[in-house]
Structure 1
Amino acid sequence: MSDYERIRLVILGGAGVGKSCIVKRFLFNTFADKYRPTVEDLYNREYDLGRVALKADILDTAGDMQFPAMRRLSIATAHAFLLVYATTSAASFAGVKRCFEEVREQRADFQEIPIVVAGNKLDLASCHREVCIEDVSEWVYCELPRLRVKVIECSAKDDINIKEIFRSFVTLSRILVAAGGDDCATGLKRRSSAYVSASSKGQRRCSPARVESSGSGAGGGGGGAEGGCGSGLEVGRPKPRSRSLIRRSSRKAKQQMRDAQADECHVS
């Protein structure tokens, strides 16, 4: 396949929030209870999206700040960000806010970058929730500038909304629309050109009337624009011809025909 899109997804968040678990659940459908700190793991995958191939580089970063140079490089080269917090830890949500500030400081185009804010460990939220999704949504949609962003809660352990996270990046990146105009993939349907709404029909009926009234003189232009479908429509209608005028026209045409026949006989 000659046409392809490449996206580099960088995952940011505090230690122990489940960044690696989300990636491994998505890529390998596995889950490990044992926590192992990540330094930096890079995964490469290619996906067929119909008319285009999506080549995805998924970079799982460290949860602490021990490698600032690596962190700055990952932010600088990213095409999309997954910011992960734990629904059971208010401190992890504060860490996500710091991650976003890093992105905003380093990337002048941060408003155009697809971002998903994911609250992991939804399976534990019923007993140990510390972060409500309403608070996250208020921060994202009310306090921050306008972004290409989505907020979602998930569980890597129970495989809840994991695929939805990565589908969101395809939608936010507008890859399918750019590739082939597949409107169904984004939930949009192309309206047939034969379909005309009632309002557009009304505008089409009114258009001759507006032209008629606007040409009535220098002072009539404004009145024609305001006439709309009311008085303007009446102005544009042709007046019916009287029967006497039709008879006179018919007699005149017959007389011209007789004269032409007489001329032809005279010439011969």
Structure 2
Amino acid sequence: MSDYERIRLVILGGQGVGKSCIINRFLFNKYCNKYRSTVEDLYNKEYDLGHMTLKVDLLDTAGDMQFPAMRRLYIATAHAFLLVYSVTSAPSFSSIKQCFEEIRENRTDYQDIPIVVAGNKLDLTASHKEITIEDVTEWVYCELPKLRVKILECSAKDDINIKEIFRNLLSLSKLIPKNDTTDVSTGLKRRSSAYVSATSKGKRRAESPLPEKEKPSGSGTGMSEGNHLAKPRSRSLIRRASRKTKQQIRDAQVDECNVS
């Protein structure tokens, strides 16, 4: 396995099921019961697994179908999916069925993609529950073909099974063992898409202080003995050398005139 690997986790589900609440509980150990519509929120996490560094992008998506082109792009570029429904809402369970159909239509390798199906709002089941774990199990294992999938119920409010969601995703991705004790909630950073783009450009500029045309070539005169990059000549030195060359040319022209 390589020393560095990056995967993208895409969270899908209907409106108001608690996708953002799950993310916020996992990242910041916070919960807010005020609903805010999400268009796109991108988070980044790094795991030091000893033998490799794993970078995980978590993409929190909109719960409606207003942006079909964006949804197709999310699905096409994902390495794993988290499908979230509310255990108190039968329509939300229908929504994740529709999400899965989108995955099946857009990904020929859908049977190999890690998927976790999570039923949120477990804290409300004492008074109201419309979808049981048996309902979800019957759909996944009886109606669908063989998948790399895990089913569980959770509560973002009471912090029930939140870490297990992401541990199972990494386990299904075969990036950590099933019984691994890595703390999956550490090292996370929130980044918007614009921030990621800007910082990546800044990093490239920091790593490459010279413009492309001024970078020394591996086979050109910019290499000294031992394949070490030669230090760039200062502009003042170049200007002095240029003035000296021009003076030599003028002196040579004067000498030629004197001889003739």
Please report the TM-score for the alignment, with normalisation by the length of structure 2: 0.67
Aligned twin of 2:197: none
Separation in structure 1 between the aligned mates of residue 145 and residue 88 of structure 2, nearest angstrom = 26
Displacement of 1:72 in angstroms is 0.6
Say if 2:76 and 2:106, in contact at 8 Å, map to a contact too: yes
* CA deviation profile, 1:80-138 (whole Å, cap 9, x unmatched): 00000000000000000000000000000000000000000000012110000001001
Aligned twin of 1:186: 178
Say if 2:31 and 2:156, in contact at 8 Å, map to a contact too: yes
Aligned twin of 1:172: 172
Aligned twin of 1:97: 97
Separation in structure 2 between the aligned mates of residue 27 and residue 48 of structure 1, nearest angstrom = 17
Unpaired runs of 5+ in structure 2?
181-260
Displacement of 1:152 in angstroms is 0.5
Alignment of 1:145-164 (within 5 A): 145-164=145-164
Separation in structure 2 between the aligned mates of residue 122 and residue 187 of structure 1, nearest angstrom = 25
* CA deviation profile, 1:50-89 (whole Å, cap 9, x unmatched): 2121100000000000111111100000000000000000
Matched, 1:11 2:11: yes
* One-letter amino acid of the counterpart of residue 147, structure 1: L
Displacement of 1:187 in angstroms is 4.6
Aligned twin of 1:38: 38
Aligned twin of 1:26: 26
SS of corresponding position for 2:142: helix
Separation in structure 2 between the aligned mates of residue 74 and residue 48 of structure 1, nearest angstrom = 26
SS of corresponding position for 1:26: helix
* One-letter amino acid of the counterpart of residue 130, structure 2: E
SS of corresponding position for 2:38: coil
Separation in structure 2 between the aligned mates of residue 187 and residue 122 of structure 1, nearest angstrom = 25
Aligned twin of 1:54: 54
Identity between Structure 1 and Structure 2 (%): 73
Aligned twin of 1:84: 84
Separation in structure 1 between the aligned mates of residue 114 and residue 35 of structure 2, nearest angstrom = 28
* One-letter amino acid of the counterpart of residue 186, structure 1: K
SS of corresponding position for 2:92: helix
Separation in structure 2 between the aligned mates of residue 139 and residue 62 of structure 1, nearest angstrom = 24
SS of corresponding position for 1:47: strand
Separation in structure 2 between the aligned mates of residue 25 and residue 95 of structure 1, nearest angstrom = 23
* One-letter amino acid of the counterpart of residue 107, structure 1: R
Moved over 2 A (4+): 185-188
Separation in structure 2 between the aligned mates of residue 46 and residue 112 of structure 1, nearest angstrom = 23
Separation in structure 2 between the aligned mates of residue 127 and residue 49 of structure 1, nearest angstrom = 42
Separation in structure 2 between the aligned mates of residue 79 and residue 21 of structure 1, nearest angstrom = 22
SS of corresponding position for 1:175: coil
Separation in structure 1 between the aligned mates of residue 93 and residue 70 of structure 2, nearest angstrom = 22
SS of corresponding position for 2:69: helix
Separation in structure 1 between the aligned mates of residue 148 and residue 37 of structure 2, nearest angstrom = 30
Aligned twin of 1:235: none
SS of corresponding position for 2:60: strand
